[in-house]
Amino acid sequence: MTRAIIIGAPRSGSGKTSVTIGILRALARRGIKVRGAKSGPDYIDPGFHTAATGLSGVNLDSWAMSPALLNALAGSAADEAEFIFLESAMGLFDGIPSAQGRTGSAADLARLYGLPVLLVLDVSGQSTTAAAVAKGFATYDPDVPMAGVVLNRLGSERHRRLCGDAIEAIGLPVVGAIMRDPSLNLPERHLGLVQAGEYENLMAHLDRLADMVESSLDLDAIMALAKPFSPAPGDFGDALQPPGQRIALAEDAAFTFLYPHVAAYWRKAGAEIVSFSPLADEAPAGDCDVCWLPGGYPELHAGRLAAATNFRAGTARFAKAKPVHGECGGFMVLGETLEDASGETHAMLGLLGHSTSFAKRKMNLGYREARLRADCPLGARGAAIRGHEFHYAQMLATGNDEPLADLADGLGNPLGASGYRRGNVSGTFFHAIAKG
């Protein structure tokens, strides 16, 4: 029987990602089959979960995924693991106003699956007040039980006693106490953590986190807090269908943001993914049925992409006969030009008429629902697709292409037309997660 627990916190930046990765790596080193999961639309943390455990990470998103798809993904994750540690996005209860159980918060998953929460508290700048925070979490929602507390960023042994004794006095066990150590922090950039695949010494850093967890947390007690995890039967009817039998997928440091569950289902449905690297000046294979340019960091590699003549010519040749779709960063590369952070303008594929800039930054963030205006690799005309938008780039020029979809935010408020399409080419800043 698989057992699971949610790792939550009051807010982003509390240290729950480092705690989660450390626990995953420590248990994997013990030979335990352990898997990481992430609530909400996060690309980066599942990569660390996968590296730490050897088992693919998974997103479980109660807003973007129908209950049937959510259960199917959760059940698949449980099939191959003894333990699942489900890391919360942002704060534990943070989501959007929506139907009951569909807010996108990790608390939804706690209620749905009857899972307890391991609460990570950053106690820097406080002492016994930490007990008031913990009590608030313990009493806020009786259907989201707090099983234990990990104290993070402690300054001294006295600090640990003040916080820990106060929390245990209200009936919550303290199962970990981590001293302040900035060297354990994971480096960040504008869209979150630097990705797992960009570390030259990734496993050494993961092992340092595991060593920290072994010395600072009671792992046996934490495993004992986990509860049996047996999701109700589900199905993949609302999963994004493979856009072709053979999918040419751009995959390198500039193109990395494809949700693990999307690629896993494409393979499950019988499709073959054929990776290629635009940064290595590779083009999509001509015998593929569709080309997919996922999001990532093209703004950091715009000069190399502009100089990749084989990639540029080969993708243009592919697009004459077969579909090419780009999401977020991939959408930026499909346009005429991309202005990098220094203000230098680089020629992109020119398969769509828009131009984007990373020099003039403005954050766009939130859940989105797209209603497709035409058939494209995301689905058929009229289909509703749920997903997410998170980027700092802005549009410099819109071009004259046809809109791809009508967009609404997570509350259903119309946001207008989104993305573009021209011939076989389509793209949008919107990242697709599942059918609506």
Q: In whole angstroms, what separates CA 433 from the centre of its chain?
A: 10
The one-character DSSP state at 239 is S
Nearest alpha carbon to residue 175 among 144, 143, 216: 216
372, with CB counted inside 10 A (0-12, 13-18, 19+), is: buried
Retrieve residue 75's tokens.
């059940």
Catalytic residue among 163, 288, 291, 328: 328
> Quick check: 28 and 52 in contact, CB under 8 A?
yes
Question: What is the DSSP code string of 58-104?
Answer: EEE-TTTS-HHHHHHHHHHHHHT-SEEEEEPSSSTT---S-STT-S-
328 in active site: yes
Tokens 């009786």 belong to 142
Nearest alpha carbon to residue 56 among 76, 39, 31: 76
> Quick check: 407 and 386 in contact, CB under 8 A?
no
CA distance 349 to 308: 10
416, with CB counted inside 10 A (0-12, 13-18, 19+), is: exposed
Strand pairing report for 345-347 and 324-327: unpaired
Residues with catalytic function: 328
